[in-house]
Amino acid sequence: MNSININIERLNHLLKLYKLSKDDILSHLNTEFKKQFKEVDVFKSEIKISLLKKIDSIFHKGINYYIDPKDLKASKEESIFFRKDKFNAELSLGAKQIVNQFEEEKIALSALSKLSDLKIDRILPFYNIKNNPKKVASEVRKHLYPEFNYNKKEFLKSLINELSEYNILVFEFIETWNKKEIANINGFFLAPNFIVVKRNQKSLRREIFTLIHELGHYLLNEEEIDEKTNEDSMDGISFNQVEKWCNDFAYYFLIGDLDSTIINLEQASSKNDYHHDLIVSISNDTNLSTISLYTRLLINGKISKTHYKIIVDDIRENIKKREEHERLEREREKVKALEEGRKLGGGIAKPILSPLYIKTIQSAFYEGIIGEAEFCKSLHIKPNKIDKYLQ
């Protein structure tokens, strides 16, 4: 059987969900695949299975989705794309795919928690942008700030664990080097308690800041998808009120009492080497980036825009050189490993799993709602490792 009958309204529903036109779909198909498709080939009730699979490479719904006779209506419960019209990013297709993936995850986990009688009620109070972000950060820090760790990945894990204690689910998404559709976002918040951040192996400080920025959205109960979340450019200072509040909150949450040191600094100039050594020291002691700290100096009027730009450009250039050096080292190691006939260590990075997520999956398994196969798939583990998660 080369063709199959589909419910064309379901395809139209996906176009609304992703905010794509028919021309967008055709453009994608005709860019990705050799054969050139026309509207008459794609948007009809009987379609070639091979073409349907190509279409589903965009939406990842599975063939059964398209043949289901039940029509779907745009629902705010289904997606943030039906709840909001504008975001802080011009979303790429890859970004829309990621957001939709976690929106579905949120709905599925909500169902599992209800079926297994697992209560995930909000514990922290609601705030609004009229609340002082520094004061809010001080209050929330008492509950959520973990023991500081100079190992940034361990510190990130600790943050995720602390948020879990307050019924806030945190997920990482990972962009592999060979992924066709790249997500142009750093993170997003989905009500009521879902925070998703991009794994940033090159800059865990950025990922940490993004996580706390999205925590700000959670506290305000303001759903958003963010491309820029770091206070690391002059552009970042002119964000809208909600974004500025979340940036300020993230800064104050991470810097803690050391903010008084930043406030009391004299004007940065060549005479004091622009406080370089102190800024690096504070960066190490807070896991805030040096660029973020210099941006705070700019906000506080402690450095001129001209000097700020020179310093930040220099920092970015050094980062670029370091990353290029690391890339060349990896390439040399690959060649050496190939010559010596050995496999290069390392593999695909795994996301950090929130304890609250693990608890939800465990509860569903104990209640018989999911089986062993789904349990292992959800936790990215092999069946022989299952006992480790059933203690």
CA distance between the termini of the chain: 49
Rounded to whole angstroms, how far apart are CA atoms 132 and 151? 30
Residue 346: predicted pLDDT: 58
64-78, 190-204, 251-265, 339-353: which has the highest mean pLDDT? Answer: 251-265
User: Domain residues for 251?
Assistant: 110-310
pLDDT at residue 292, as a whole number = 93
Say if residue 139 is in the same domain as residue 288: yes
User: What local confidence, expressed as pLDDT, does residue 146 receive?
Assistant: 97
Average pLDDT score over residue span 90-110: 92
pLDDT tens-digit readout, 241-297: 999 999 999 999 999 999 999 999 999 999 999 999 999 999 999 999 999 999 999
* pLDDT above 80 (res 185): yes
- 51 and 153: one domain? no
Kindly state the greatest CA–CA separation across the chain.
Answer: 78
Residues 191 and 129 in one domain: yes
% pLDDT > 70, the chain: 95
For residue 19, tell me if it sits in a domain. yes
For residues 167 and 244, membership in a common domain is answered with yes
pLDDT interval class at 237 (50, 70, 90): low
Contact 29, 57 (CB under 8 A): no
3-state helix, strand, coil in the chain (%, to 5): 60, 5, 35
User: Cα–Cα distance between 111 and 117 in angstroms, integer?
Assistant: 10
pLDDT > 60? residue 133 = yes
190-231 pLDDT, tens digit each: 999 999 999 987 789 999 999 999 999 999 999 999 877 666
In order of 20, 227, 232, 319, 320, the CA distances from 315 in angstroms are 39, 21, 11, 6, 9
Return the pLDDT at 257.
Answer: 96
Residue 235 has pLDDT above 50, yes or no: no
What does the block give as tokens for 273? 């080497």
Is pLDDT of 177 > 80? no
* Within a domain: 295: yes
Question: What's 88's DSSP letter?
Answer: B
Reduce the DSSP state of residue 189 to 3 states and report it. strand
d(CA 306, CA 162): 40
Residue scoring higher pLDDT (52 or 32): 52
Instruction: Point out the least confidently predicted range of 67-76, 111-120, 121-130, 343-352.
Output: 343-352
Between these two residues, 391 and 373, which has the higher pLDDT value?
373
Between helix 204-220 and helix 133-144 the angle, nearest 10°, is 110
Cis check for the bond before 125: say yes or no (omega within 30 of 0).
no
Which residue in 219, 247, 215, 214 sits closest to 231, CA to CA? 247
Q: Is residue 87 part of a domain?
A: no
Residue 100 counted as domain residue: no
For the chain, how many structural domains are there in total?
Answer: 3
Neighbours of 165 (CB within 10 A): 13
Q: What is the CA radius of gyration of the chain?
A: 24
- Do 133 and 188 lie in a common domain? yes
* Whether residues 128 and 267 fall in one domain: yes
- Of 221, 90, 108, 218, give the one whose Cα is nearest residue 166: 218
In a domain, 97, yes or no: no
Whole-number Å distance between alpha carbons of 113 and 166: 15
- Tell me the backbone φ, ψ of residue 198, rounded to 5 degrees: -80, 130
Mean pLDDT, range 58-67, rounded to an integer: 92
Measure the CA–CA gap between 290 and 262, rounded to whole angstroms: 12
C-alpha distance from residue 205 to each of 28, 159, 293 (Å): 35, 12, 12
Q: Compute the average pLDDT of residues 89-113.
A: 92
- Given 276, 310, 344, the domain boundary residue is 310
pLDDT over threshold 70, residue 347: no
Co-location of 120 and 247 in the same domain: yes
